[in-house]
Structure 1
């Protein structure tokens, strides 16, 4: 695992209010996701990186009732702690923004050194997703008096498991 790149991602995501942990394997990354999700109601994307993930919490009938959303990523930027998500069948945009907690899994092969590298990699995707979300930590918004509110337009917590995949 490129420890320096993963450590930079962990530091930058922490500066944005999120949490990243470095796992030794894909199985260990899935174990982190299970531990973080607990038995809370969860939405889980149909993503190849999440294959084998079984959660204790049930999938709610109404997505608005989910407390946790679990996603894979198109890529991530270490220098900003940013995740790039793209909708696809079985991967609705709401998984990352409706629940109060967003959990993501990032293989090291899709962790880029900087934001420009991430954007260049996304530009080479074929087919190109119909839309993308760029997520850097928990949702934050400031009101007219600059009072910062967390979780206004998305999750209040973002946790990411980074693992070596090659």
Structure 2
């Protein structure tokens, strides 16, 4: 398995929004749309809660307008209830969809995992990507998998 790259099709994987009953196929989510997806190691972790998620929420309308984005989605290896609560706490509603990847299937399909035992083991590397009609058009993966530089909302200035 090799890491996803620009030009690749987004893999089909089930994510969950709000509850285990609400399955979202990420490939279908990005079909016939332009979607910005960013991945974080964990909900409620310091970098994710203080910088990463708030930046995308704050800049959601600007990003949608200047980049022609239809939707923005945050993905983390957490359960859907945690992702829902985290999104509500930060005011993500209508700005950033909070999608859970509880078994890291999406992160593994992208080959963007990192083993972080203190956070429970396998997590998603910190990344951001623009996907248009199911194809990865731009991809930013933090060099160490967890840093806060190239995957932040500010990176998308046009």
The structure with the largest alpha-carbon Rg is 1
Instruction: State if a TM-score over 0.5 links the two structures.
Output: no
Give the TM-score, by structure 1 length. 0.30
Give the TM-score, by structure 2 length. 0.31
